[in-house]
Amino acid sequence: MICIKCGLTKRGSKDFFECDDCGEFSKLVKIVFEDVHEQMEHSASIDPDSYPILRLLADSSFITSKNPQTAIFYKISDYLVSRAFTGATEVTEEELNRYVVTTRGWSDALKVFEELNLLKVRMEKYMRFLVLTDKTRKFASQYLSAEKLSDIGIRIRLAHIYAGYVLLSILNKMAYLSEESFSKSTLPYDQRPRTLWVTLMFLWSNAYRNSETFSEEELRVFVSRRRIPSATRGKIVGALHAMDGRSTQGLIKEVRIENGERKFAFDDYVMVEMQRIRQLIRERGR
Ligand SMILES: [Zn+2]
């Protein structure tokens, strides 16, 4: 049997099943998405310093931003945020083509942005125009008057949050797949972003279970069992080591060697935020 979400296999009588880790992680993804979506829709400001969940999102999206399955969403996000930053209200398909190099069609990716009301697609003379919605413009302009704007790190940080939100919405679709109904047709490009899912499942679930550290070996075992190639795993570990500034991830505060093995320690804010999520899940009785 193969897990419909992460690809884990085990012996059994059916072809497909959902593994326990994916079942638990699906609950976590649903509640984090609701929480983030609520803030993106209604908050006056979308500031990662006041909303650590957004920081978690930005830090998480950094880790897989170069993965081929997710890179297109990351690149579109980066471009839209940078255009919105300059006050643009529309982006043409031609401009997008110049900035985001991809062999994939645009429709599936843009649909995700449209569903989140981040943009509207308008056709004119066989060309797409991406109209940036108030939601996107508000998101980018919240720092326009701030002194920190000169800092290029802020733009990159915002792009990470924006991309993290988009990717989380895809994970949320995946969380709703079930043993009875697991057609990939609800997902962009009919594809499960499995590397993103498995990586975040490992990281978030560890923190969620209140375990402050994990070893590289634990990560290796977890992702290898789910047939993530070792080269991909190497990139993830590399990203986890990058923790020296605003444009890098902040999930991990320290890497140390214990008994000849590399151990990663989560930043304190990750543990505090996961405690809040545990509380949310308890309150909502899931
Ligand atoms: Zn699974």
Closest CA to 83 of 28, 155, 27, 20: 155
Residue 70, classed as helix, strand or coil, is coil
Number of domains making up the chain: 1
Residue 185 burial (10 A CB sphere; 0-12, 13-18, 19+)? exposed
Residue 144, classed as helix, strand or coil, is coil
Closest CA to 40 of 173, 194, 131, 163: 163
Token duo for residue 266: 């989560």
Residue position matching structure tokens 């792009």: 159
Ligand 1 midpoint to CA 15 (Å): 13
Ligand 1 midpoint to CA 97 (Å): 36
Ligand 1 midpoint to CA 96 (Å): 35
Ligand 1 midpoint to CA 86 (Å): 42
Query: What is the reported pLDDT for 182?
Result: 83
Ligand 1 midpoint to CA 26 (Å): 10
For residue 122, the cross-strand partners are: 129
Ligand 1 midpoint to CA 54 (Å): 25
Identity at 248, one-letter amino acid code: T
Ligand 1 midpoint to CA 201 (Å): 9
Full DSSP string of 219-269: HHHHHHHTT--HHHHHHHHHHHH--SSTTS--SEEEEEEETTEEEEEE-HH
pLDDT per position in the chain (286 positions), as tens?
Answer: 999 999 999 999 999 999 999 999 999 999 999 999 998 988 777 777 778 898 899 888 878 777 888 889 999 999 999 898 888 999 999 999 999 988 888 999 999 999 999 999 999 988 899 999 999 988 887 766 555 555 667 778 888 899 999 999 999 999 999 988 888 888 999 999 999 999 999 999 999 999 999 999 999 999 999 999 999 999 888 888 876 555 556 889 889 999 899 999 999 999 999 999 999 988 887 5
Ligand 1 midpoint to CA 255 (Å): 28
Ligand 1 midpoint to CA 249 (Å): 25
Ligand 1 midpoint to CA 197 (Å): 9
| 56: containing domain | 2-283
